[in-house]
Structure 1
């Protein structure tokens, strides 16, 4: 089967959707894959990434975080003509490429929408996007969502639930496997914080990631511990200015190796996201793989509370309740046996459900359904004739 992925961007651009697309492209097994995406520069380029053809469309302008380019029509048409896909897999939400695709997708090509998220933030332009979204869903043969929670709560998907399949996101296990000598580097992280329990956060410092709630919750935590905040973003300087506690440490952006050491050094992973903009939580799965139990908020319709199971792999508290969040942190720090049990459960859950092979197996089931459907259609057409 020849599968053409349409993603917003692609490697070496790093992003949650882009990583998932890359895992699917590079672990497709017997399937052949290619990608159409935007180029971060204003130039049309066709290149090869790890043996896979990538058509990059020049970005002319960005409007409400959506890249736009009239070049997209020509590049997508070329990709379809040259690659001759059996399946086109659109990574949503990426409305402009979807609109272009609807003008030219061949009738005999199957369409999968990989529904990473609803359009939530851009409410003022959603009325213009909604007709594209509906047309795409009507044309789709299958819709892939990343959790049962998102399937059941997404309003646009409700009329099309018979097409919906759950294919969970995945983390790259190889980035977090321990090697010889890593124990010394992990110990060095612990030593730098005087071997106090580490409550670790990593992510973009933006509103829906909930970092302000974590900073506020720190005030109510009674245990002797430190809060280590990695990453950066628009809120970084504001939060640094507001935070007066000497046990909160902003460590900036970490490379992959450093991130691994911090995860294993941490006692608790703080994941205080507050809205469905956090559709799944790959960073959450990464921490859990490293035997770090998490504290999360309840987020209606998000997969976060499916990844981290309350009282099994971590703790979950009412959304936005800083005092309850602090109490959960205190509970885990003050109870090492409970924390160790949840750490083991967290690692096991990721191994069982959220590695790349798990995602690929579920995605292949979806592809096989399409193949069966196409064979059935051919047989029925033969009978009718």
Structure 2
């Protein structure tokens, strides 16, 4: 079976995030198929999770982060010392791209899961762009999470022939019977009101307060994480909107995913159209997805 080495700054568990969740689930799936899976990250790791799923988790460490990017020479060391048949990078993460180029080790194909352009760091992004283009010119395949991302990405221009659309999905066991049972409780509690579910980080520019204040005759619930001063607690108190931190249910706080409310929501609002696309794999039918734009 092939040996695959994944590179990114974090993985879930323990770090909760969109790319982190995808990376963790992909690694588990590959290990179940009998692959020899190694995963190198600069952030914290859950060694017990790695042992449970027979995944070699390598904590390369970091000196800090600059513009959300890890300062970690440990990636270069891992690339030079590890043996692998496939190198899989999860982007955006300039550190792993630069480390791969510096390692100069091209005995195995490079593949990429590409989730977003770097759009906020204008100056540093422009400085990094030539290195990224050099890297893309050497990769075997770029997995892009949506056709819209491929159409609008400035970084992928000229590399469309290497790209393949691979929408993000959810595990087939989610939501489960326990989620469905709670979903019935939710529907009864709100007396048949249509439910709007917002999933994503609660960033100010997404207009979540507008959604909350104008949610009647709907009932709005939200699952995600607060960033900076964007905590919507006052709006929650005024409107009765239920909020959940990562790992909690927006309804009761006792589930690891908002599966129950997804089962009964009328409309899903997500900052990524790929989150909406993933609901095609969800056994709960009749859900409409709406993307609000921005990052997750």
For 1:208 and 1:167, locate their aligned partners in 2 and report how far apart those are by CA, in whole Å.
28
Partner residue, 2:98? 99
Residues 213-271 of structure 1 show CA distances to partners (whole Å, capped at 9, x for unaligned) of 423653xx5xx33222333413776544467853x413333244562222223233233
Deviation at 1:120, TM superposition (A): 1.5
In structure 2, the partner of 1:193 is: 190
**2: distance between equivalents of 1:130 and 1:102?**
13
1:118 counterpart SS class: coil
Q: CA deviation at 1:137?
A: 0.7
| SS across alignment from 1:36 | strand
Q: Partner of 1:140: helix, strand, or coil?
A: coil
For structure 1, list consecutive stretches of 5 or more residues without a partner in the other structure: 42-46, 305-385
The CA deviation at 1:281 is 1.5
Q: Which runs of 4+ in 1 moved over 6 A?
A: none
Distance in structure 1 (CA, Å) of the matches to 2:280 and 2:176: 11
Superposed counterparts of 1:1-385, under 5 Å: 1-13=2-14, 14-28=16-30, 29=33, 31-40=35-44, 48=51, 50-78=53-81, 80=82, 84-179=83-178, 184-207=181-204, 209-215=206-212, 217-218=214-215, 224-234=217-227, 239-241=232-234, 246=239, 248-253=240-245, 254-255=248-249, 256=255, 259-271=258-270, 273=271, 278=272, 280-281=274-275, 285=279, 289-297=283-291
Secondary structure class of the residue paired with 2:20: helix
- Secondary structure in 1 aligned to 2:90? strand
Counterpart-to-counterpart distance in 1, 2:214 and 2:145: 29
Q: CA deviation at 1:18?
A: 1.9
Give the deviation of 1:40 after TM superposition: 2.8
Larger Rg: 1
Q: Output the CA distance in 2 between the equivalents of 1:287 and 1:162.
A: 27
**Matched position secondary structure for 2:159:** helix
Tell me the CA shift for residue 158 of structure 1.
1.7
Residues 251, 149 of structure 1: alpha-carbon distance in 2 compared, 3 angstrom cutoff? closer
Return the alpha-carbon distance in structure 1 between the equivalents of residues 180 and 102 of structure 2. 55
Query: Taking structure 1 as reference, are residues 237 and 283 closer, same or farther at Cα in structure 2, changes over 3 Å only?
Result: farther
Question: What is the distance in 2 between the residues matched to 1:258 and 1:9?
Answer: 19
Shift of 1:112: 1.0
Shift of 1:91: 0.6
Distance 2:225 2:72 in 1: 29
What CA RMSD, in Å, does the superposition of the two structures yield over aligned residues?
Answer: 3.1
Alpha-carbon contact 2:180-2:263 (below 8 Å) kept: no
TM-score, structure 1 as length reference: 0.64
| Contact 2:112–2:142, Cα closer than 8 Å, also in 1 | yes
Please list the CA deviations of residues 171-200 of structure 1 after superposition, one character each: whole Å capped at 9, or x if unmatched: 112121325xx5543232233334433222
**Secondary structure of 2:136's partner?**
helix
Residues 258 and 30 of structure 1, relative CA distance in 2, 3 Å threshold: closer
Count of paired positions:
281
Deviation string, structure 1 residues 20-79 (Cα, Å, up to 9, x no partner): 2223222223543211111338xxxxx64510111111121111111112333323322x
